[in-house]
Amino acid sequence: MHITNRQDPPARWPLYGFRDHTARLLARPLMGIFACIFVACGQSPPAERAPAARKQLDLAIDVTTAPVRRGSIVEPISAPGTLVARRESRIGAEVRGRIERVHVSEGDRVEAGDPLFEVDPSAYEMALRQATAGLDVADAERRQIESDLQRARKLQKESVIPEQEIERLGTSLLVARAHVRQADEAVALARFNLEQTVIRAPYSGSIAARLADEGTTAVVRPQTIVVILQETVELEARATIPESQLASVHVGDPARIYIEGLPDAIQTRISAVSDTIDPATRTYLVKMRVPNPDFAIKAGVFAHIEITPSAKTNILLVPRIAIRSEDGRTRVLLVEDGRAAAAPVQLGIVSEDAAEVLSGLDEGDQVIVGKEAGIIAPGMSVRVATAEAKPHT
């Protein structure tokens, strides 16, 4: 008996239906899971996101602007400096001899004319006595010749003394008078040398150093330095200024001197400006007088000096808070057609609140200032703030 398999395929059809049904059952929860994930992520279909994105991009940032104006500006100049004694003298003996007494020590203050040290005067006292005796001899010889000449002239009237004798005595008198003058100068020199054995302060000041003690033999060439005297009742501040500031600093410009340990700055003025540039440092020297009546400041102290030169007037100024420096370029932001636009600028003097504009801006240009000037990128949409719409802070 022949048996066919014609009905075998129909027997498998229910299996295919079962598989389709199973796939549908599995697809439904998977679609639900995907939907939950999509909703949980806060995403919406692209067609719904586009209007919101365009709305967000169209939002304008409130900004504050300030005008470029004309005015004056001062560029303070800061420089390190040193305070030195206005005068310093290295004082030694004017005459040779043994130092007999030193009256001062380091740190002592002296007045003009006070004795500093003494050289043994014995030899100079003897020299003065000897010179005085020589003057007495010369003066006695002069008087003797004058007396002889007077008698000779009387005798000449009686034709007892020849004319040649009168001439000889006249010449001798001239020589005697010259000897007197010479002896008188010798006395003056001896007295001067004796006075130089006591060395006195040439001006009021303080003893910066004592370099010799009693018993030292002082010589004149080379001179033996015994003490160093400094005038400290008025000091001198010295600072070196860069060559680029040569035209900025002038005599009379005000200056402030800051010294560590002193609570307040010292107000003074430029007293001298050097005409010479140091070729090694390309700087020049400026000086300022610093009164020191109570000797609170010591010579040699370090100081920070700020000089305020004359103001530069009638120049274009831009607020400093509008300036941006990026990639070696300096620029500001303007508002053009509702968007921020970068404007490269060249600056000159820069102070605490403004900067001189050399090029890139015109008077009246409105530049963005404040915090926004540093964070807004060129091309961003901006809106100039009004009284009702305050800028972001």
Name the more confident of 43 and 197.
197
CA-nearest of 89, 91, 87 to 220 is 91
DSSP 159: T
Amino acid 95 reads: V
246/241 Cα distance (integer angstroms):
8
Per-residue pLDDT at 298 exceeds 50: yes
What pLDDT digit, counting tens, does each position of 119-168 carry? 999 999 999 999 999 999 999 999 999 998 888 888 877 777 788 888 88
What pLDDT digit, counting tens, does each position of 172-206 carry? 999 999 999 999 999 999 999 999 999 999 999 99
Is the bond preceding residue 222 a cis peptide, omega within 30 degrees? Answer: yes
241/239 Cα distance (integer angstroms):
6
3-state secondary structure of 353: coil
Per-residue pLDDT at 217 exceeds 60: yes
CATH class of 61-73+312-384: mainly beta
Question: Using an 8 Å Cβ cutoff, are 116 and 102 in contact?
Answer: yes
Domain ranges (residues) in the chain = 61-73+312-384, 87-210
DSSP 73: E
What pLDDT digit, counting tens, does each position of 358-392 carry? 999 999 999 999 888 888 889 899 988 753 333 33
